[in-house]
Amino acid sequence: MNQIGIFNKQYGLEKQGLVNVKSVYWNLNAPRLYEEAVRRGEGIIADGGPLVVETGQHTGRSANDKFIVKNEESADTVWWGAVNKPFEETRFAELHRRVLAYYQGRDVFVQDCFAGADPNFRLSVRVVTETAWHSLFTRNMLLVPDRNEHQSFEPAFTILQAPGLKANPETDGTRSDVFVLINFAEKLVLIGGTSYAGEIKKSVFSILNYLLPARNVMPMHCSINVGDAGDAAIFFGLSGTGKTTLSADSSRMLIGDDEHGWSDNGTFNFEGGCYAKVIRLSEEAEPEIYETTRRFGTVLENVIFDPEARDLDLDDATLTENTRACYPIDFIPNASVDGIAGHPKNIIMLTADAFGVLPPISKLTPEQAMYHFLSGYTAKLAGTEKGLGKEPQATFSTCFGAPFMPRHPSVYAELLGKKIAEHGVTCWLVNTGWTGGEFGTGERMPIKYTRALVNSALAGELKDAPTAQDPHFGLAVPQSCPGVPSEILNPRETWADKAAYDAKARELVDRFIANFTQFEDYVDANVLAAAPDAA
């Protein structure tokens, strides 16, 4: 085979069963991957330099097509159910053989990278793709070793991604022609039938979420930034809740926008890049992220552009609401160099409440923080996953990341509760969703108000501010905040029909209570008492 680039001659693809491939492009940098992507017709260079690609039919994660192989390693450690669905070892082996056969006679691109900025906990990951642009995505999102590290690199896990290979559900045991299969015993991930690059990123996250709790490290679906005084802040939240937007604050240093660990030493980024939603991105409200969409090295997924002038149209959702920008984290001017921070002073749990009844900010007791972390309430927004319609759907995603949490939620919740207590962390629930009515009647919470509330919370201005208890959710709601109209703070006052508000709030309370029944045997009485009032 023809081998191009920097690689470890002692640990080549032959050790992983990849033989008779045409050419292997090892650890190419952005300029060389651009050349290959354009030459192969994989993407177009838009004005300013970003590489624009389309992912075809799959413009979001195929959540129902992800499986974990059930074997001796995983049988008693994985939280089996609707999220972590079991897959047979024999069928995995057959699909593995098919992936290896598929690559024969083809060019492949390899990135050997690290996941985890803290050297004490980092994981070496090899990602093999059939396109140059997926290799650039991987290089942007993970941590790139130096030349010496490349030459001695041995992967702890391998991801084989083959978008052009489709599964046969009848014979392969998959749900559709898409497959995302994780085998913890063989330290191998197989991805096929989809070009959506987020499957690569989230597979790495799932691996770390499985491995790290055993080392007393809390893996988190969150962003983190740090103030001048070294005060770290954690932002929990699902896609579309504002995690990336709110953490990219020019007055604070960005550690990372999506995936982190919290060890006894402090917090650290899992990644080396950001994967931001850019549909209707505002240059005024989100200048740091907006600027990345005009840079060489950024990969833009499913963004519409003028074919002649190559001007981007970030407002056009023709292909999907889930348009994305993937870029190295150092494209954000105030990003951390090493991706490491101390223990957090504040934790902010973000939710996009489609019902429009939660306060825009409320202070949580430690028990309420545990309750809302396990609940993970938000609204899934259009385009984030295949099959979602145009309207947001209310959902409970435990730990604000259930699709990526292989272990039982109680494992992560116990770790979080322990660390909150050890470090005296102040916790907040922030609603970035609707106000003045539910979706379709009200409006999305203005980002300027959310920023003002978050900034005041992080500055300590709301910690001891007067509060009123929300009658339905029992939350302590600050009664004033600089730069925010006082009526915004009380969601009931923003509704024209107060009776309709009360009815909708009770409806959401009932949903919280029904959802939490699955955790009642795993938490103490104080956490159960933090539930919303069903009366």
Tell me the pLDDT of the chain (535 aa) as tens digits: 889 999 998 899 999 999 999 999 999 999 999 999 999 999 999 999 999 999 999 999 999 999 999 999 999 999 999 999 999 999 999 999 999 999 999 999 999 999 999 999 999 999 999 999 999 999 999 999 999 999 999 999 999 999 999 999 999 999 999 999 999 999 999 999 999 999 999 999 999 999 999 999 999 999 999 999 999 999 999 878 988 889 988 899 999 999 999 999 999 999 999 999 999 999 998 899 999 999 999 999 999 999 999 999 999 999 999 999 999 999 999 999 999 999 999 999 999 998 999 999 999 999 999 999 999 998 765 554 455 455 667 789 999 999 999 999 999 999 999 999 999 999 999 999 999 999 889 999 999 999 999 999 999 999 888 999 999 999 999 999 999 999 999 999 999 999 999 999 999 999 999 999 999 999 999 999 999 986 5
- C-alpha distances out from residue 466 to 369, 425, 451, 462, Å: 20, 19, 20, 8
Return the pLDDT at 215.
Answer: 96
- C-alpha distances out from residue 315 to 288, 289, 338, 363, Å: 17, 15, 34, 35
- C-alpha distances out from residue 16 to 142, 148, 167, 186, 235, Å: 21, 22, 21, 11, 38
CA 4 to chain centre: 32
Query: What pTM did the predictor assign?
Result: 0.93
Return the pLDDT at 384.
Answer: 47
Binding-site annotation: residue ranges for substrate: 61, 196, 202, 324
Binding-site annotation: residue ranges: 61, 196, 202, 221, 237-245, 258, 286, 324, 450
**Euclidean distance between CA atoms 523 and 517, whole angstroms:** 11
- C-alpha distances out from residue 241 to 21, 421, 432, 434, 475, Å: 42, 26, 6, 11, 20
Closest CA to 84 of 339, 369, 403: 403
Q: What are the beta bridge partners of residue 193?
A: none
CA 517 to chain centre: 26
Tokens of 502: 């009360």
What b/e readout covers 298-311, taking b as 16+ CB neighbours within 10 angstroms?
bbbbbbbbeeeeee
Interacting residues of 177 by C-beta distance below 8 A, sequence separation 6+: 166, 167, 168, 169, 193
Return the pLDDT at 464.
Answer: 86
**What residues are annotated to the active site?**
61, 202, 221, 239, 243-244, 258, 324
Which ranges in 13-160 belong to alpha helices (H)?
Answer: 30-39, 89-103, 132-141, 147-151
Return the pLDDT at 526.
Answer: 93
DSSP code of 360? S
Which ranges in 104-212 belong to alpha helices (H)?
Answer: 132-141, 147-151, 169-172, 198-211
CA dihedral 336, 339, 344, 350 (to 10 degrees): 90
Tokens of 493: 């006052």
Cβ proximity of 476 and 467 under 8 Å: yes
Q: To 10 degrees, what angle do helices 366-375 and 498-516 make?
A: 80
SS3 333: coil
Cβ proximity of 432 and 445 under 8 Å: yes
Interacting residues of 302 by C-beta distance below 8 A, sequence separation 6+: 53, 54, 55, 59, 319, 320, 322, 323, 324
**Euclidean distance between CA atoms 25 and 8, whole angstroms:** 13
Interacting residues of 371 by C-beta distance below 8 A, sequence separation 6+: 516, 523, 527, 530, 531
Q: For the chain, which domains are there?
A: 2-40+62-215 (3.40.449.10), 218-263+343-530 (3.90.228.20)
Closest CA to 326 of 182, 138, 470: 138
Return the pLDDT at 385.
Answer: 47
Please give the span between the terminal C-alpha atoms of the chain, in angstroms, as a whole number.
Answer: 70
Closest CA to 332 of 432, 400, 258: 258
Interacting residues of 107 by C-beta distance below 8 A, sequence separation 6+: 21, 22, 23, 24, 25, 130
